[in-house]
């Protein structure tokens, strides 16, 4: 009898342990599934911001001051290169993590990725990973533009942008189910930014024809898109309140266009200045309307990162403008935008660290619509 009781207790212990192990495994699988189902391409806003900051500060420390250079510009060359390398490394680490997560999402939840492609907002952020990689390619501290490695990587990151162009732009002008007047929203400008960043990277390695090709492709569609959004012909009013920070993309596109054109022609000419002034006007128009963003700022959301990248590229353009004009006012404007871009990026990083549990909320406007 005692032997039978001992066996029973051992069996019960084994059964309990096995059931607990199954429950632990099932909880881990459910947690992994929850992360991958809530994750989407919109999270690459973070890598866009960090990549933009890396490019901004690389541009600042590599500047070669002359006798005519303003003191404000010269003092940024004293920033240690180790700090820029650390920033670039952090941006690379974040982008690799996000890319791996999205790759797992493609492997395990491909239907949700297809749904993302059909979503009017989420589809535009499919450009974000490739834009982020192109930004890091340009800001790499150890990879000169005119090398075989740079060329191969440029093709690897720019080709998906062109493929997405063919698919999305083709839908726009063939008037299928997704013609422009029904799907256009501020995030549609991500496709334009993708072409312009690719053009800028191509110009740096001396491929002027490829740069002009991507630039013309992006700008032609930007003009059409800008007119469509400006006349409010689309469903922009139906943009979820939490996504209103993406309105900052209105001045990101002309800012990147100014940078790309300056890289192509080799000087900050009148066309670059016109695009810069347009960016400043759109930036001023948005910051003068804080009530537009009030409801989206009540609780932390990853969409807040949409503020950072546009301000960063606007600050980057201001550095080229200040160097071309060489006036005190232009350098003061540059300093204001630089400080603002850094403060916004630091604040968003701090908010993200303090609210890490809210990075994958149940009420995310993109993720919730994809799960339905």
Give the predicted TM-score (pTM) of the model.
0.87
Break the chain into its structural domains and give their ranges: 1-38, 41-371
Distance between CA atoms of residues 369 and 363, nearest Å: 9
Fold topology of 41-371: Glycosyltransferase (1.50.10)
Predicted pLDDT of residue 28: 42
Question: What value does the mean pLDDT take over residues 36-56?
Answer: 91
Distance between CA atoms of residues 368 and 370, nearest Å: 5
Nearest to 184 by CA among 167, 164, 198, 168: 168
369 touches 43 (CB < 8 A): no
User: Going by C-beta distance under 8 Å and a sequence separation of 6 or more, which residues neighbour residue 338?
Assistant: 56, 60, 76, 315, 318, 319
User: pLDDT tens digit string along 317-343?
Assistant: 999 998 888 888 888 899 999 999 999
User: Going by C-beta distance under 8 Å and a sequence separation of 6 or more, which residues neighbour residue 239?
Assistant: 121, 185, 186, 246
Least confident span in 35-44, 146-155, 250-259: 35-44
62 touches 142 (CB < 8 A): no
Predicted pLDDT of residue 239: 79
């Amino acid at each position: 009898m005692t032997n039978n009781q001992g066996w029973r207790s051992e069996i019960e212990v084994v059964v309990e342990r096995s059931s607990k192990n199954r429950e632990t495994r099932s909880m881990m699988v459910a947690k992994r599934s929850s992360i991958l189902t809530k994750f989407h391409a919109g999270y690459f806003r973070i890598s866009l911001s960090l990549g933009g900051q890396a490019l901004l500060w690389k541009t600042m420390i590599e500047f070669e001051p002359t006798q005519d250079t303003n003191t404000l510009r010269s003092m940024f060359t004293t920033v240690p290169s180790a700090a820029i390398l650390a920033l670039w490394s952090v941006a690379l680490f974040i982008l690799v993590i996000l890319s791996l997560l999205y790759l797992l999402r493609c492997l395990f939840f491909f239907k949700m990725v297809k749904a993302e492609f059909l979503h009017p907002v989420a589809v535009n952020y499919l450009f974000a990973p490739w834009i982020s990689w192109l930004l890091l390619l340009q800001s790499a501290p150890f990879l000169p533009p005119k090398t075989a490695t740079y060329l191969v990587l440029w093709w690897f990151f720019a080709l998906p942008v062109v493929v997405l162009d063919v698919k999305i732009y083709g839908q726009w002008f063939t008037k299928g189910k997704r013609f422009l007047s029904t799907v256009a929203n501020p995030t549609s400008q991500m496709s334009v930014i993708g072409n312009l960043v690719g053009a800028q990277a191509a110009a740096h390695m001396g491929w002027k024809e490829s740069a002009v090709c991507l630039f013309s492709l992006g700008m032609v569609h930007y003009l059409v898109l800008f007119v469509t959004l400006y006349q409010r012909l689309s469903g922009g009013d139906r943009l979820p309140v939490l996504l209103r920070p993406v309105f900052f993309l209105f001045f990101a596109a002309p800012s990147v266009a100014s940078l790309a054109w300056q890289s192509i022609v080799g000087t900050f000419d009148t066309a670059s200045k016109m695009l810069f002034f347009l960016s400043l006007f759109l930036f001023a128009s948005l910051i003068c309307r804080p009530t537009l963003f009030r409801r989206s700022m009540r609780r932390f959301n990853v969409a807040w990162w949409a503020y950072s990248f546009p301000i960063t590229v606007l600050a980057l353009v201001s550095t080229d403008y200040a160097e071309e004009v060489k006036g005190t006012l232009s350098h003061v404007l540059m300093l204001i935008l630089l400080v603002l871009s850094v403060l916004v990026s630091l604040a968003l990083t701090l908010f993200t660290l303090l609210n890490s549990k809210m990075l994958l909320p149940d009420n995310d406007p993109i993720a919730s619509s994809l799960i339905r």
